């Protein structure tokens, strides 16, 4: 009995759970959003075609001059070929959504293979061009990606779900999700069939309200295409995602405090006692003196800010806020000096920081490697970053400089 449970656990882990986590979050072959440069939004519908509701969705899209992508269940497509033909005639794209909407987690390798084979044959019988695949419920097993790749299909998930399939969904909740979260590059998943009883009617009513509103806001809708998917989210390699994940992990567990509690701020901060020896520090710090370390929030620093030279103005604004915090808030009032190890030292030098080389070769080499990895991940630049340096300023000097600037 125990051996059977262990064997079942291994099968679940390696056939279902791990492949699903990898495909949904890390695989470079799975698209989760449109490319970064586009201004368009992709509207996608799953689980159809439905003879009762799909014509109403098509009528609405035609009236609003919006093209979408329909991920079809092949068995339903065979029953409703006239609806599929109408989709193509009205400029919509077609994608595959399995043969019978059977969940990948419950499908054996043989069943998974047969599902793909029957689906592709059904689409060929209908004369349908198919380039895209979306697994039912967005779930994967060990075979899913291999079989999709063998059929030369691009696997497309989404980055915005309105939850319209749920019995808890309301017209208002669907509208709220769409109107507050749609942005350029979004791939929106909705359903023209399936879901809880009455869900398709709710989705249709919500879209009749939200789509005109979104169009007045300038949202451009488009069906999926190779151009829109090129260089999309799938092109981000797993090592890039792991570096970004580690960067966020370090920030959270080092207890950096964000001024104004906003993730959009450029600087994160941490307070700790200085552990260096007395008499050897340029600001004459003694062991145990409190220092405030500054850390660049790489997630908020956009490449266009670097190109436009906005780092200095952002830095000045936040240093001004930090100087006020140093005067007014505990435990900041006990800080003796402000410190950073960064490649942005030229900007800090212009703000009165003392810039000195990092003495430890090991620490300098490690920081250089880390800065270059971050630079490559966040900006895509292959050019090596300058060597990081230590930057120091006394609490009094930082406060005085910002008081002078305010005057």
CA distance 356 to 350: 14
Q: How many CB atoms neighbour CB 397 within 10 A? A: 18
Return the H-helix or E-strand segment holding 107.
none
Assigned token pair, 75: 């068995």
Residues 63-80 as b or e (16 or more Cβ within 10 Å = b):
eeebbbbbbbbbebbbeb
For 110, 157, 235, the CA distances from 117, given in Å and listed in that order, are 11, 21, 28
Q: If you ran DSSP here, which 8-state letter would residue 260 be given?
A: G
27 contacts: CB under 8 Å, gap ≥ 6: 145, 234, 238
Q: For strand 267-273 and strand 220-222, is the pairing parallel, antiparallel, or unpaired?
A: unpaired
Which two three-digit tokens encode residue 309? 């030279």
Q: Cα(31)–Cα(22) distance, rounded to whole angstroms?
A: 13
404 classed as catalytic: no
Catalytic residue, from 97, 101, 191, 295: name it. 191
Inter-residue contact 216 to 14 (CB < 8 Å): no
Q: Please, which residues bridge with residue 133 across strands?
A: 96, 155
User: What DSSP string runs through 144-201?
Assistant: HHHHHHHTTPEEE--SEE--TTSTT--HHHHHHHHHHH--TT-EEEEESS-SSTTHHH
Residue 289 among the catalytic residues = no
- Kind and range of the H or E run holding 114: helix 109-125
Query: Catalytic residue numbers?
Result: 46, 191
């Amino acid at each position: 009995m125990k051996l059977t449970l262990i064997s079942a656990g291994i099968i679940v882990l390696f056939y279902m759970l791990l492949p699903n986590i990898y495909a949904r979050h890390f695989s470079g072959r799975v698209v989760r959003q449109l490319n970064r440069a586009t201004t368009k939004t992709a509207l996608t519908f799953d689980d159809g075609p439905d003879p009762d509701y799909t014509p109403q969705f098509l009528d609405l899209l035609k009236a609003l001059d919006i093209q979408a992508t329909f991920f079809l269940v092949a068995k339903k497509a065979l029953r409703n070929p006239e609806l599929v033909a109408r989709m193509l005639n009205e400029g919509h794209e077609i994608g595959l959504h399995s043969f019978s909407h059977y969940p990948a987690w419950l499908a054996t390798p043989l069943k998974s293979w047969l599902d793909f084979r029957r689906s592709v044959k059904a689409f060929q019988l209908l004369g349908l061009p198919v380039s895209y695949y979306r697994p039912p419920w967005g779930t994967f097993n060990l075979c899913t990606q291999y079989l999709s790749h063998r059929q030369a299909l691009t696997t497309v998930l989404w980055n915005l779900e309105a939850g319209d399939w749920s019995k808890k969904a309301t017209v208002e909740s669907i509208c709220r999700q769409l109107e507050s979260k749609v942005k350029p590059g979004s791939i929106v998943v909705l359903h023209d069939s399936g879901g809880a009883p009455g869900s398709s009617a709710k989705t249709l009513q919500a879209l009749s309200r939200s789509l005109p509103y979104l169009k007045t806001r300038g949202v451009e809708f488009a069906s999926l295409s190779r151009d829109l998917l090129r260089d999309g989210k799938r092109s981000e390699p797993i090592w890039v995602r792991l570096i970004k994940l580690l960067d966020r992990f370090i920030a959270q567990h080092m207890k950096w405090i964000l001024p104004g509690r906003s993730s959009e701020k450029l600087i994160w901060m941490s307070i700790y006692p200085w552990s260096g020896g007395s008499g050897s520090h340029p600001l004459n710090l003694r062991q145990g003196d409190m220092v405030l370390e500054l850390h660049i929030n790489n997630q908020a620093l956009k490449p266009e800010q670097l190109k436009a030279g906005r780092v200095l103005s952002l830095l000045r604004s936040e240093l001004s806020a930090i100087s006020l915090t140093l005067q007014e808030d505990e435990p900041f009032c006990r800080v003796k000096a402000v410190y950073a190890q960064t490649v942005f030292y030229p900007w800090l030098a212009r703000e009165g920081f003392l810039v000195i080389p990092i003495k430890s070769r090991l620490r300098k080499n490690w920081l250089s490697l880390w800065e270059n990895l971050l630079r490559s991940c966040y900006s895509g630049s292959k050019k090596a970053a300058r060597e990081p340096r230590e930057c120091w300023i006394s609490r009094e000097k930082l406060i005085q400089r910002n008081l002078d600037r305010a005057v």
